[in-house]
Amino acid sequence: MQVTVRALADADIGAAREVQTRAFQEHDRSFGDPVVPVTAEVVERQRGRLQHFLTHDPAGSWVATVDGEVVGVALALRRASLWGLSLLVVDPSVQSRGVGRQLLDASLTYADGVDTAIILSSRDPRAMRRYAAAGFDLHPQIHAEGTVDRARLPASRRAVRPGGADDLAFADAVDVAVRGAPRGPDHELLARTFRMFVVDDVDGRGYAYARSDGRVVAVAASDDETATALLWECLAQDADGERTVDHINAAQQWAVKVVVAAGLRLAPAGPVFWRGRTPPRSYLPDGGYL
């Protein structure tokens, strides 16, 4: 099989999105997870992600092709001294044939000279091995899901306000303090797409994003107490519905305490890999924009 790895182009976005869908669905089936329906909202989010990386990180956006057909996709971002792998998927029909390794090698060329690098891995042991072999340190993670027991919400919570476009510079300053690099253009997309929450008082600073379907997208804060307040606010939104909190590792015991107190179920998840530092404490990364 002759594989060509080249830069992502506008014309590839439709095929790349389809490869992502097939790869994720096969992964979910193989681990006994529910297969996420491909709704119009999911398609729009996938296409928006690909276009965002093509616009802001063209040197980190790659496809693998066989006979001219897209069979793999990799997206990586670079923000100041931080590099992150947002997506690496290979069509199930050609997995375990070296395509993923070639895409990772191409993506890592975008990491030259950075101080810090992060990869959020799936539960696929092939992916874990590949990232560990690339020099990244593995940190196990869990995720939490379920319906929040409203009776368990703290009677008195720290003041958290809605955020928006006027808070993006503030959020970037939080990012620099927490993870060593701003999000820059990623905040513009996240604030436009998701609900944003902000804490900015004498006791701490931080922000969070949450999806309308109840998934917590990201949390970043100056301290655990502020991060705790933001996570509770995300979980307290609306009266009904499932909540999901991803990417909790052992450094984030504050998040474990919140989701347990809220009555959510805990389950093993794919690990996070860091290179150049240990995971920040008061931080839950976003699966797409790290």
Q: Which domains are delineated in the chain? A: 3-114 (3.40.630.30), 143-267 (3.40.630.90)
pLDDT of residue 224: 97
Total-model pTM: 0.95
pLDDT of residue 150: 84
pLDDT of residue 86: 98
pLDDT of residue 104: 98
Give the end-to-end CA distance of the chain in Å, rounded to a whole number: 33
pLDDT of residue 63: 98
pLDDT of residue 151: 87
Cα separation, 58 vs 51, in Å, equals 10
pLDDT of residue 239: 55
Q: Contact at 8 Å (CB) between 89 and 23?
A: yes
89-98 own/partner pairs: CB under 8 Å, 24+ apart: 89/19, 89/20, 89/23, 89/24, 90/19, 90/23, 90/64, 91/19, 91/22, 91/23, 92/22, 92/23, 92/26, 94/1, 94/66, 95/126, 96/126, 97/1, 97/3, 98/3
pLDDT, the chain, mean: 95
| Alpha helices by DSSP H, the chain | 13-30, 40-56, 99-108, 125-133, 168-179, 185-193, 224-236, 253-261
Q: Contact at 8 Å (CB) between 261 and 152?
A: yes
Could you state, in chain order, the average pLDDT of each consecutive group of 10 residues for the chain (290 residues)? 96 98 94 88 94 98 97 98 98 95 98 97 96 98 94 87 97 98 97 96 97 94 97 85 94 97 96 97 97
